[in-house]
Structure 1
Amino acid sequence: MKTRFFYMMALVCSTLFFSSFTVSSVDEITEIKDQQDKILLSRTGGTTRGVTGVEVTATTDGKTAVAISVTDFTGTAVVQIIGGRTSAQYSFYVNEMGYEVINIGTLREATYTIRIILDNEVFEGTFVKVPIIR
């Protein structure tokens, strides 16, 4: 009876121990994937007087789309994508908050520079376009 209880407790403890590793590894993979989706943008231009508060974020799946989000800005946002022996330019209007998805499915496989221009401020970053496997 004591031996059976000991084996049952050992089985329960080992199950709990190994399941914790499985959950943490799935969380790590998700975190790595989330980091790959974000495009790091650096800001250039603008004035040194005061903080504008404009926030620009860009994400991509690397295959078909680039999503751009602009907050605290009113005006026209110009997006330039340069690289891979090609370039493209898009624009969209922002009224305090704007969101645009740009199709990159037709671009070649390469490393691209994305430039988002808001009046006199320029946000620039890079992303990698991977091939779409069919």
Structure 2
Amino acid sequence: LKSLSDMLKGKQGRFRQNLLGKRVDYSGRSVIVVGPYLKFHQCGLPKKMALELFKPFVFNRLEDKGYATTIKTAKKMVEQERSEVWEVLEEVVKNHPVLLNRAPTLHRLGIQAFEPLLIEGKAIQVHPMVCTAFNADFDGDQMA
């Protein structure tokens, strides 16, 4: 039997478990690695992460282009990762900048917008010169 104070305090308590942190839709988190070939305003976004982030846009674009007749068939195409899906994803990310945030966000440069470039792998790539603003380095830092 837990007391009221036990239910509120600590890592598993109500405050830290539910009230201070919440899940956010259409967001992702990954380790950052150096992308020296990138321009300052670009970031390398893993293809699988981008597909998850831009799913609603990909569904609509697949329908608009005639690759899928319904959202249900578009979902199946995305699950199967067909070549048309990657083609559409390339188009979608061109028109949508992404926000990169490195916790803790202490000033306004802790969150910045970038033009995503689709890359293979699971790590987010950033130009080494933008790390100063984020107070980031490449020893395992994560960004969302």
Q: TM-score, normalised by structure 2?
A: 0.29
Q: TM-score, normalised by structure 1?
A: 0.31
Larger Rg: 1
Greater relative contact order (Cα 8 A, min sep 6): structure 1 or 2?
2
Q: Choose between structure 1 and 2: higher helix proportion.
A: 2
Q: Choose between structure 1 and 2: higher strand proportion.
A: 1
